[in-house]
Amino acid sequence: MSDSARIWILIAAVSVGTFLIRYSFIGLVGDRAIPRWAARMLRYVPVAVMPALVAPLIAWPQATGGETDPARLLAALAALGVGIATRNVLASIFGGMAVLYLTLWLVG
Amino acid sequence: MDHDPPDLTRAFRLGIRDGLPFLIVIVPFGMLFGVLAGEAGWSLTEIMAMTILVIAGASQFTALQLLSEHAPLLIAIVTALAVNLRLAMYSASLAQYIGATPPLGRVLAAYCLTDQTYGISMTRLARGPELTPRERLAHFLGGAVPVCIPWYFATWLGTALGSAIPPALALDFAAPITFIALVGPGLRTLPQIAAALVSVVVALALAALPYNLWLLIAALAGMTTGALTEIWLERRA
């Protein structure tokens, strides 16, 4: 199979599959009632999924070949600290990026 | 309960405004995909088809890497879909809020359901004002405007500029910062903090598991922790 054929089959399969994953509950379950315990667990989706997603990226960044990087670690802590202190998304992003660039510049 | 007539335009605009901060991180993240896919020899058509049809950064990077390593096609597809399984959790969570809206709107919402659009919506719902289901959908779709459309353009820009982008820009770290910015400002209650801590610890401990299993297990562990802590607090009160 040519590289291009492989790419197109992948795009087709992943886009259809991903749409079905996204549509699953919003589309098929809709507003049907779900058990109370399930609703309780779903309340914690944001704080359970995203920290898990991000933790390995911070601990072992790909850009440094998986080696823990002080600049990226500090930037992550800054984004978290500023986010909690200010409750502001923009401040959190700016805080993180500022510390990242500053530390990279100081170290590099 | 009486509600004022739904003001969809206002909710949609509020969504756009809530989503705007993410431009700062969406653009570098999208550019990075364009750069890497271009370097891997993908054509512009292939890159843009992927970024518009799949529109899920983490799985795009995963699929790209696996194809470049000449992994079997089926493995690349299954792994990319496994990375996106977390979106089913977002879908289940979001259905609680917009499940009662017209089907076409929900198809659109499903298409642009990402970490960012979901996070923008949840942050607003936690903060108020109270919105009707249709207003929530309008707000969600508004939030998708500054996330999804710049994602396409950024990918294209990354492909066009290619390796002219200096590595010192550390484009890779835009994604982690986004996720932190999505969660940090909303961390308030003890169950939320406990859920986040447990999910981080489990994710790091199980990071070696294949097919993103570590993420799904860590997420379930975090959600269970949150729910149990909530029950414990209720009983104590």
pLDDT per position as a tens digit, A6-64: 999 999 999 999 999 999 999 998 888 889 898 899 989 989 998 998 999 899 987 78
Nearest one of B88, B79, B85, B87 to B61, comparing CA atoms: B79
Q: What CA–CA distance (Å, rounded) separates B133 from B138? A: 9
User: pLDDT tens digit string along B148-172?
Assistant: 999 999 999 999 998 777 776 777 7
Give the gap in angstroms from C-alpha A11 to the nearest C-alpha of chain B.
Answer: 6
Interface confidence, given as ipTM, is: 0.89
Chain B interface includes A66 (CB < 8 A): no
DSSP string over A10-71: HHHHHHHHHHHHHHIIIIIITT----HHHHHHHTTHHHHHHHHHHHHHHHS-GGGTT---HH
Put residue B41 in one of left, alpha, beta given phi > 0 → left and psi -120 to 50 → alpha: left
Contact B22 A19 (CB under 8 A): no
Cβ of A35: how many Cβ atoms within 10 Å? 8
Residue ranges of B 53-112 with Cβ closer than 8 A to chain A: 53-56, 58-59, 63, 67, 73, 76-77, 80-81, 84-96, 98-100, 103, 106-107, 109-111
Q: How far apart are CA A78 and CA A93, in angstroms?
A: 9
Q: Which of B21, B96, B219 lies nearest to residue A48, judging by beta carbons?
A: B219
| Residues of chain B with confidence (pLDDT) below 50 | 1-2
Q: What is the pTM of this model?
A: 0.87
CA distances from B179 to B214, B225, B234 (A): 17, 20, 30
Do B215 and B86 touch, CB atoms closer than 8 A? yes
**Å between A86 CA and nearest CA of chain B:** 7
Which chain B residue has its CA at the smallest distance from A36's CA? B227
Closest CA to A58 of A69, A47, A45: A69
Chain pair A-B, CB pairs under 8 angstroms: 291
Q: Do B49 and A89 touch (CB under 8 A)?
A: no
